[in-house]
A = this chain, B = another copy of it.
Amino acid sequence: MTQNNSSEALKIIPLGGLHEIGKNTCVFEYGDEIILLDAGLAFPTDGMHGVNIVLPDMTYLRENRHKIKGMIVTHGHEDHIGGIPFHLKQFDIPVIYGPRLAMALLEGKLEEAGVADRTEIRTVRPRDIVRIGSYFFVEFIRNTHSIADSFTVAIHTPVGIVIHTGDFKFDHTPVDGEFFDFQKLAEYGEKGVHCLISDSTNSEVPGFTPSERAVFPNLDRIFSQAQGRLLVTTFASSVHRINMILELAKKHNRVVSVIGRSMLNVIAHARNLGYIKCEDDLLQPLHMTHKLPDSSVLILTTGSQGEPMSAMTRIANGEHRQVKARQGDTIVFSANPIPGNTIAVVNTIDKLMMQGAKVVYGKDQGIHVSGHGCQEDQKLMIGLTRPRFFLPVHGEHRMLVKHSQTAQSTGIPAENMVIIDNGDVIELGKDSIRKAGKVPAGIELVDTSRSGMVNDKVLKERQQLAGDGIVTIAATIDGEGHLFSKPEVHLRGVVSAIERPVLQSKAEEAIAAVLRDRWKDFTRELEGQIETDWAGLQVQIERELHRLLKRELQSNPLLVFLMQNPEPAEVKSTTPTRQRSAVKVAS
């Protein structure tokens, strides 16, 4: 937490999107008012077992919910809007302003999550200006990105104008004819921009990012060479790419069948809003294509990143009900693997090839371009806006560092920029930018089971379970401190060189030893002098068993030790009886 030690400073508090690509979430705070810019989700990394969604720590927003006046959304990518339903489960957001496509996608999410009533959604168009609270005015500036209807925003604040680029590239030949609003950017540059907050995704890459249109001739060439069926996969949200694929399908006399939930969802919304234009009869359900010759069929599908549950991955694994890859198919990966997905993607490609399909993939094919600007684009953004202060965001640490070096090469002094992390509180004053304190900025993990959040304890247990497995030992100990019978030993996920009966006997010895050690306590209890310290006994036995397992298995499995204490036979009755029957394990 940070105390508001300067009422003149604007606080900028990123809760996500730094030192990572994903879950972009930024707080702008002035006085007692907060506006949010985007609220995305991220996907789990190795070791986050059973987790499918990663969210930023929302403690700061929960604690300051009363300050929240509204939210701005720059575009409809999951890493910018995917977190909003989870936020709304915890606090209301009076109003959310954003582009039509993003808002359409968001409305679906809010319905699904049952939180549509927790906010008011308003769509904006290029150059719309909205007022949020008493301190903030926001102008929406059309930019170019891989998803249609994307914005850069100019936030008018009491300390000056802050421009947040959102995700951007400079595409001079946009597929949808919607040009980057250079004039408006330049106008702000002329007026004077106090601070530029800019996309760092490709800050390590020299040069310019090619136009989305650059992939058109390459896809055209590949489509024209395809004899049999065409299967094409790309990001579901790449509306421009999808538009080109549909246009090329028509050109090559193929009907298009779309599979994969997210792809169907985006296309439906994009068509409603006119961002995707195609005749109804171009799109056909899968079963309609079965009668058609292979050369008239294009299947557009999700799975460009080898996502386990996606359509393309299930096809590769031969697990897709309607579609099997086969000789004659041409399968096009119109996307580059995101680092971390590489193995999944190449495995998918290999499996498809093994089934006889021709697979077209890889950078040298020219069938994918990034939606983010490279170093020269980043310089151009700075040149157009000429900011006094600079804040690189949307990238891992080394990308932020590189972006700040690029900014310095354009003449912005090093002391006018800061490299920040999630949770940092940046105070932007009239004449200064500085880090001032930190707010909670961990992560919150959501389990695929949708039954709840995965806390650290559960995650640690899962990691230990995954690495070493679990041993369950149950022993019944009577009131006289006798081991009532051979303890039960069960191994799950445990690699053991020794036989289970051997382990069982050793466990028995270990427990018996503790009992002998505590013999006195039991006799004294029988003499009514003391209550046997069952909990203490439990702990002592567990300690011994842990030692035993470490020694015998040379590993560190989880241990569940159940200590039962039988009732005297005469008080038997059907469920439930009184509760001292067993000492509970802390859990």
Contacts and interface: CB of A to CB of B under 8 A. Distances in A.
A350 B397 contact: yes
A177 interface: no
Interface in A433-481: 447-454, 458, 461-470, 472, 474, 476, 478, 480
Interface stretch (A146-154, A254-262, A272-280, A559-567): A559-567
B469 A396 contact: no
Contact of A474 (B474, B500, B568, B576): B474
A562 B490 contact: yes
A347 to B, nearest CB: 8
A354 B468 contact: no
This chain's copy number in the assembly:
2
Contact of A478 (B50, B470, B480, B572): B572
Contacts of A362: 204
A89 interface: no
A488 interface: yes
B493 A553 contact: no
A458 B466 CA distance: 10
A495 B398 CA distance: 35
B472 A560 contact: yes
Contact of A340 (B343, B397, B575, B577): B343
A453 to B, nearest CB: 7
B467 A49 contact: yes
B584 A486 contact: no
B569 A568 contact: yes
Nearest to A553: B451
Contacts of A19: 350
Given A465-B466, A495-B449, A582 B488 contact: yes
A465 B469 contact: yes
A494 B455 CA distance: 10
A364 B496 CA distance: 47
Contacts of A491: 587
A495 B465 contact: no
Interface string A128-168: 00000000000000000000000000000000000000000
A32 to B, nearest CB: 33
A485 B565 CA distance: 10
A486 B575 contact: yes
B458 A469 contact: yes
Interface string A39-52: 00000011001100
B577 A452 contact: no
A417 to B, nearest CB: 16
Contacts of A564: 474, 476, 488, 564
A339 B346 contact: yes
A292 interface: no
A68 to B, nearest CB: 26
Nearest to A569: B569
A352 B584 CA distance: 45
A574 interface: yes
A24 B584 CA distance: 52
Interface of A: 19, 45-46, 49-50, 204, 206, 339-340, 342-343, 346, 349-350, 353-354, 359, 362, 364, 396-398, 401, 447-454, 458, 461-470, 472, 474, 476, 478, 480, 482-486, 488, 490-497, 500, 508, 511-512, 515, 553-555, 558, 560, 562, 564, 566-569, 572-579, 581-582, 584-585, 587
